Structure 1
Amino acid sequence: MTETAWTESGSAATDAVPGIGTGLSAVMAATVLVPASRGITEPAVIAAAVFAVVAVGAFLASRYGSGRHRIAAGIATAASGGVLLCTAYALNQGLTASTELPGLSTSISLLMAGFLIASLTVGVGVADALRISVSGLKDRSSQMVVLTLLGVTGLFAAELAGLFLALPVMEVAGDLSTTGFLVIAQLGMALGTAIIAGIYLSATDRGLEFLDLRVPSKRDVIWTVGGLVVLFGALMTISLVFQTAGVESAEHGTTEQAAENPEILLVLIPASLLVIGPFEELLYRNVIQKALYDTFSRVGAIVAGSVIFAGVHVLAYATAGPGAVIASLGVIFGLSLVLGTLYERTDNLLVPSVVHGVYNAILFANLYLVYG
């Protein structure tokens, strides 16, 4: 392994990272070229195949070419991103390109495989462009896995805490109404999330001083107001793009419940401000995103943290098809970038908590006007 450059953190860059990118992009290319060769001539699939071939060539140029390494790596990243978007769009339009696995009585969607591999290839492309070494890539990947598991654990802890709180109440009062159970579930979310955050801070020798919570300054207030404007602006922009492109997104499980029982929204509106916003931001911004600062740049931590935040919301949209779920997670990812930026700019947990809470409260209030 030859040492060719150094990142700001001192990681030596080698040609092994573009080698990994070459291997991943080759597999990615196969997942979209096979459907194209089978007669699936949808523009999204053809475009994905073209992007995949470009990505393979760019990674090869990055590894074996002389000079202009950053340009080649940038092209590889952009082309892999093209595959990511095209396969996501194709899945959203109902294409799967399923194929039987040899020796197994099951099949896989080649386009879904292409989407998942493309997401990894984009990350490797970015690492290649930044001249991050294999060791640095491994450290970042390991931390992403650990913090993703932390986020998932937070979800399950919230559910368990809600059940733990509900059982003694049910013993005394009998069966709970949907609204009553939701109140307890929100208390469980606060308790479970706080416990998981506390366990992580203790296990990593971080105390309460790790929490960025203070009285907001005038600058924080400006960021809060501006953040709300940008958040709703981003939602409107994404919605317009989806409508223009014919992209269908999935309904959040809460929206489906609200259609049947609008009264739950009267609980969720204040809960957004008191529980959902503060405690989700505690875990995903002040714990997960801030922990990512250890190995990522601040911009990288915002993006990586938003990937985790979007990923753990899969279950909330799981009743829809994969293409619609991907679209909804894309919206969550985009909105999370705004919240992550607000936290990074202010280093005050209160700012994204208020923005997140107010944003959710307004959405729930709008749903109540529709279904109430």
Structure 2
Amino acid sequence: MSDTAQAVEGEDDGDPLPSAVVPTVGTVLAALTAAALLIPARDGIDEPALWIAAAGALLTTGLFLTRRHELLERRLAGPAAAGSSLLVVLLSGYVITQGVLASVVLPGLGWSISLLFAAFFVAAGTVGIAVADAAGLSSRGVKRRLGLTGEMLVLAFVGLIGISIAAVFLSLPVQLLAGEPTELQWTVVEYLSFAVGLGGVAAGYLAFRGRERSFIDLEAPTLWTVGWVVGGLLLILAANLGISSLMTAVGIEGSDHTTTQRVAENPDLLLVIIPSMILFVGPFEELLYRNLIQKSLYERFSRPGAIVVASVVFTLVHISAYATAGAGQLLASLSLLFVLSLILGAIYERTENLLVPALVHGCYNAVIFLPMYL
């Protein structure tokens, strides 16, 4: 067992709260998911995937109940509940991409919410609870991991704010010297802001946590590094092609990135965007999301768990960038982004060298935009 795994298990010893708390939470979440799916199914939405998802949620509820009353071993019930919840996530997500939202208005508030989106997100949380239960984590252990996840989410969104603040200050000299920036000038400022904003936030977080510069996993390139970069780039491009083809085959459409729409209107922007992906976006996004967020998550999560959680954070932060179409298209694009982030996280975990995922990420982005220039 690795040192990380030993630390994860050891930290939960002596929890004064009853062991049934985690499966009880899982039961509540699974029951809420089932209710959110059964209401539109009862209302006559003719979608087989919806009925299967509802059955999966009911199965998950039953599995957690058996765990709560100690009728089934956690090493059997936990993985089964995680698997059935994951199926619910996939099926409810598919239904959403088909344009079914099952929106309802909350009484007294006038707010409209989508029951399908509620089921999707609650089922995703249920997967995490099921994994925690299978691993034998106590309620204290779950709380600690949720706390660290929340901290990483805050750090990620502070990174977005940092980019915006940096853009304001970097645009000031341009405005003073040349007046209102052109779109090309603003694009230069925008990508320089990635370096200044994310780099500044990263430095601030390291100082806040009292971590040395050695926390940054940056090593000189070698032939081994080049091999990982080439192999990682081919893998992530193949994953993009495969998943995109699968989505097309089942009738799922994604949304365009906001940058893609800008490039369609002004192709000259690619002269700035393509090199910036390699020089700024890839390196500084990987610095924040992999070297800081994912590595910090190693303190309480297993390595695979940290990769998944960091990828969730990475995906959530990119919602605004893909919010160019309907809810179904947005979810499809974010699902693809999540898988690609898992690959980058795995590459970083294997190599422990920021240079590798930074180059893979940057080159991947550049390759995606390159056909628009040719």
TM-score normalised by the chain length of structure 1: 0.95
Q: Deviations along 1:160-189, whole A, 9 cap, x unmatched? A: 101111022211111211111110111111
Match of 1:11 in 2: 12
2: CA distance between counterparts of 1:143 and 1:324? 30
2: CA distance between counterparts of 1:194 and 1:132? 35
CA–CA distance in structure 2, aligned partners of residues 216 and 63 of structure 1: 51
**Aligned residue among 201, 219, 226 for 1:221:** 226
Counterpart pick for 2:336 among 327, 331, 340: 331
Q: Counterparts of 1:182-197 in structure 2 under 5 Å?
A: 182-197=187-202
Aligned match for 2:282, one of 277, 288, 292: 277
Deviations 1:71-96 (A, max 9, x none): 11111111111111111111111111
Structure 1, 10-19 or 286-295: larger mean CA deviation: 10-19
Matched, 1:31 2:36: yes
| Residue 147 of structure 2 corresponds to residue 142 of structure 1 | yes
Task: Determine the C-alpha separation between the residues in 2 that align with 1:25 and 1:121.
Answer: 6
Residue 250 of structure 2 aligns with which residue?
Answer: 245
The match for 2:318 is 313
Partners of 1:295 and 1:60 lie apart in 2 by 27
Measured against aligned partners, the alpha-carbon deviations of 1:135-158 in whole angstroms (never above 9, x if no partner) come to: 111111111111111111101211
Q: Deviation above 6 Å: which 4+ runs of structure 1? A: none
Cα distance between partner residues in 1 of 2:163 and 2:129: 33
SS in structure 1 of the partner of residue 235 of structure 2: helix
Q: Distance in 1 between matches of 2:24 and 2:332?
A: 31
Query: What is the RMSD computed on CA atoms of the aligned residues?
Result: 1.4
The separation in 1 between residues aligned to 2:176 and 2:144, in whole angstroms, is 48
Letter in 2 for 1:221: V
Question: Is 2:64 the partner of 1:59?
Answer: yes
User: Counterpart in 2 of 1:212?
Assistant: 217
How far off its partner does 1:11 sit? 2.0
The offset of 1:222, in angstroms, is 1.9
Q: Residue 86 of structure 1: which of 84, 91, 96 is its match?
A: 91
State the 1:218 CA deviation: 2.9
**How far did residue 67 of structure 1 move?**
4.4
Cα deviation, 1:225-265, whole Å, max 9, x if unaligned, reads 11111111111111111011111111100111111011111
Instruction: Give, in whole Å, the separation in 2 of the partners of 1:270 and 1:102.
Output: 52
Q: Which moved more, 1:219-228 or 1:296-305?
A: 219-228
Tell me the amino acid that sits aligned with residue 175 of structure 1.
E
1:119 partnered with 2:120: no
d(CA) in 2 for partners of 1:286, 1:249: 29
Q: Does the CA-based 8 Å contact 1:28-1:52 persist in structure 2?
A: yes
Structure 2 contact 8–302 (Cα < 8 Å) conserved = no
| Deviation of the 1:223 alpha carbon | 1.5
Q: Secondary structure at the match of 1:79?
A: helix
Structure 2 unaligned regions, length at least 5 = 1-6
- Deviation string 1:337-371 (CA, Å, 9 cap, x unpaired) is 111111111111000011111111111111223xx
State the secondary structure of the residue aligned to 1:94.
coil
Count residues with an aligned counterpart. 364
Q: For each residue in 1:89-139, what CA deviation from the matched residue of structure 2 results, as whole angstroms up to 9, or x when unmatched?
A: 111111111112111222211111111111111111111111111111111
**2:53, 2:10 → 1: CA distance?**
34
SS in 2 for 1:263: helix
Aligned counterpart for 1:261 among listed residues 263, 266, 285 = 266
Tell me, in whole angstroms, the C-alpha distance in 1 between the residues paired with 2:177 and 2:223: 48
Q: Distance in 2 between matches of 1:105 and 1:344?
A: 46
Q: How much does 1:220 deviate?
A: 2.2
How far apart, in 2, do the equivalents of 1:54 and 1:167 lie? 58
Pick one of 140, 165, 170 that aligns with 1:165. Answer: 170
One-letter identity of the residue aligned with 2:222: S
Counterpart-to-counterpart distance in 1, 2:9 and 2:109: 47
Kept in 1, the 8 Å contact 2:74–2:136? The answer is no
Unaligned runs of at least 5 residues, structure 1: 1-5
Match for residue 349 of structure 2 among 339, 344, 347: 344
From 338, 357, 363, the equivalent of 1:358 is 363
Between 1:236-245 and 1:275-284, the stretch displaced more is 236-245
- Letter of the structure 2 residue corresponding to residue 322 of structure 1: A
Q: Is the 8 A contact 1:342 1:352 kept in 2?
A: yes
Higher RCO, Cα 8 Å, sep 6+ = 2
Measure the CA separation in 2 of the matches of 1:225 and 1:92.
33
